[in-house]
Amino acid sequence: MHDLVARHLLAQAPPVPDPETVDLARLQFALTAGGHFLFVALTLGLALVVACLQTRATFSRSALHARMVRFWGQLYVINYAVGIVTGIVMEFQFGMSWNGLTHYAGNVFGAPLAVETVAAFFVESTFLGLWIFGWHRFNRWAHLAMIWVVTLTALLSAYWILVANGFLNHPVGHAEEGGRLVLADAGALMTNPSTLLAFGHILGGALLTAGFFVAGVSAYHLFRRTPEWEFFGKSLRIGVFLALPALLVTAAFGGVQFAELASLQPMKSAVFSQEAADMARLQAELTARFGPGDYVPSEAWTRGGGLTMLISFALMLYLGIGNVVLASVRTTLYRFRLWHLLLMASVPLPYLAMISGWIFREAGRQPWVVYGLLKTEDAVSGLSPGAMRASLITFTVLFALLIAVNWWLLLRCARRGPVDAGLGHDDREDAEEHTHGSAAPLPLARY
Amino acid sequence: METLALTLLGFFAAGYFVLGGADIGTGMLLARLGRNDAERRLVLASFAPFFLGNEVWLIATAGLLIGAFPTLEGELLTGQFLVVLPLLTGWVVRDAGLWLRGRTGGRGWRTVCDAAVVGGSWAVALSWGWLLCALFTGTPDRVATGPVAVLCALAVASLFAVHGLGFAALRLTGAPYERARRLVGRGGPWQSFALTSVLMAAVVVSAGAGLPWAASAADGATLSLLVPALLVVTALLVVVQAWMWHAFRKRVTRPSYL
């Protein structure tokens, strides 16, 4: 029976998918990966902010910083939780909708995903549980070590995902044997320039997102003149002083990636700069090499994505410089309410830049899923359009709801300010049921 | 290397069914064990520190599957597409309910989240039964149908529930504990939990035993790098998780972060 199953499962040529299935599967991947990516952007950056704050609080025993850990940590955990649940869908999606990719490139592409889940995410989740539920239970140094393990494994997780993504964008370290890819050089795979540059770029982008978020939330409290002026004055400065260098790092890695494009993915480069002659020449070259087909990615998405990213970068650069100046002066920091409004309004800017940069990267490499090796349309599972549509609708509705709930809760908790509920609350003091609505302000000297 | 990879995969899958199965089962019985908001919070606290660490066993299973048996991963998930869909949906809904329940004060919101936890847990357990049915009947490339599928889904879901019940009886105090204890019946909760643990592990391992592993293993070059690295990390992880269970070993008497 085993042989029968094996023959059935593996020997059979993958059925040719319906063109509609291809479009639906692409749309689902774009929406779910994009949604997940936006959660990750904030989580990754905020984790580093929280870990640094807790380090400061642990070393100095500063009550103010301990309160900051709990307040920003609370927002971090909410965003993280919703990010995890969207990530679950991502992991299974490769096998569900893109089994042509696992068939052809699984030997190379699967390994970084496996390492990510076990060596990064597994460790990260275990320690995150310890950190959240271990407040007041472990000594403060052990508790500090926990958030650092969470933060560093989160970065490791991003790295391994980008090893997989970098391979799709610029395949290296592989060889083809019997119509399938095999791993030839793990070192080349792990030091792929497409991976390392993207990692630096994403890391900068995540810190930028966190910087604008922290500054925006703090500006709200300063604008409303809530009693927590010292807490949010300091927090605003952290956000603003983090955002500008993060922006410069992001831009530097982005610039190098742009320069590399001409050699790694010349067609993307040509489409972005609207070089019609280059595009025609490359189309002819690629047709000669890979057979007839359309090798020009969507100009609207590629160019639109690239331009949106550059415009939001320029806006953030001007804002970032102005923010640093205004935050350095005590009077403007606490009293310039128009600026506070501007800071709140600019929270979405890094998100816009992140998502449009991602569209530029991924839409611009079409029609390839593994650049130059496997076309997107050949990677889709042989599913009926009906099944694909059902999953597209399910996951889109689910993700839209999760994004809405996430922001509703984030804004609610952000507006409420540092109250003694939720993360880090010492439940040993709860004799009876704790009601969140009437939570007392965070006490000063407790950690 | 293939055998090692397969052993590790079986270990991850069994780990998920025993550990993750316990909190899924308890989630299925949330409304039965906790009659009011405070009691339900206590029931959630029984597995609160563990559930994230429990469910990553499945993430690790899926990760190892794609790394070490990529072809089979693709065929299996595509073949079971319509079962994996409710499984993932249930998982996402349940986790969102767990994580977000305590983040705002409204009674209505907490009722919505309780419903998400109970409904999501049932969806996950039933989907597992449905999926395992296809593996048991030797048709991993298509979704199981007919009365066998229904029976299998119900049987596996009941096993999840009983497993969760044993866990709850070992972790809870107060009125929810009394209810769990009564439902467990005459045998002690330890015996019940040990028995369901063995059954949970046996069910998933025996279901997977019939799959064509050897024919779908990744290339030797990939496995020889991947498997030793993962073995080392897994050993460390087991130590950390054991420490976590030890740190939170006491029965819960008050609500926690969730």
For chain B, domain boundaries: 2-247
Q: Which of A7, A5, A15 is nearest to A382 (CA)?
A: A15
Return the pLDDT at A15: 58
Q: Is A437 helix (H, G, I), strand (E, B) or coil?
A: coil
Interatomic CA distance for residues B159 and B150, integer angstroms: 14
Instruction: Give the helix, strand, coil percentages of chain A, each rounded to 5.
Output: 75, 5, 20
* Total tally of structural domains belonging to chain A: 1
User: Which pLDDT tens digits describe chain A residue by residue (447 residues)?
Assistant: 444 444 445 544 455 677 888 889 999 999 999 989 989 999 999 999 999 999 999 999 888 898 999 999 999 999 998 888 888 888 888 888 888 888 888 889 888 998 898 888 889 989 999 999 888 888 889 999 999 999 999 999 999 999 999 999 999 988 888 888 888 888 999 999 999 999 999 999 999 999 999 999 999 999 998 888 889 999 999 999 999 999 999 999 998 998 888 888 888 888 988 888 888 898 888 888 888 888 888 888 999 999 999 999 999 999 999 999 999 888 888 888 999 999 999 999 999 999 999 999 998 888 899 988 888 888 888 888 888 899 999 999 999 999 999 999 899 888 888 877 678 777 665 544 444 444 555 554 444
Interchain proximity B95–A102, CB inside 8 Å: no
Interatomic CA distance for residues A395 and A393, integer angstroms: 6
Candidate from B76, B210, B222 with C-beta closest to A95: B76
Return the pLDDT at A13: 47
Return the pLDDT at A1: 40
Residue A258 lies in a domain: yes
The pLDDT tens digits of the residues spanning B152-174 come to: 999 999 999 999 999 999 998 88
Return the pLDDT at A2: 47
Q: Which of B21, B18, B29 is nearest to B118 (CA)?
A: B29
**How close B225 comes to chain A (CA, Å)?**
8
Portion 192-211 of B in contact with A at CB < 8 A: 210-211
The pLDDT tens digits of the residues spanning B21-48 come to: 999 999 999 999 988 888 899 999 999 8
Contacts of A129 in chain B (CB under 8 A): 49-53, 244
Q: How far apart are the first and last CA of chain B?
A: 41
Structural domain harbouring A238: 17-265+297-419
Interatomic CA distance for residues B86 and A355, integer angstroms: 28
Q: Which of B24, B44, B77, B233 to mutate to test the interface with A (most CBs of A within 10 A)?
A: B77
Return the pLDDT at A234: 93
Residue A130 lies in a domain: yes
Q: Which of A105, A66, A67 is nearest to A373 (CA)?
A: A105
Instruction: Tell whether B73 lies on the interface with A, counting CB pairs under 8 A.
Output: yes
Residue A424 lies in a domain: no
Return the pLDDT at A431: 43
Complex ipTM value: 0.89
Residue A435 lies in a domain: no
Residue A288 lies in a domain: no
Residue A321 lies in a domain: yes
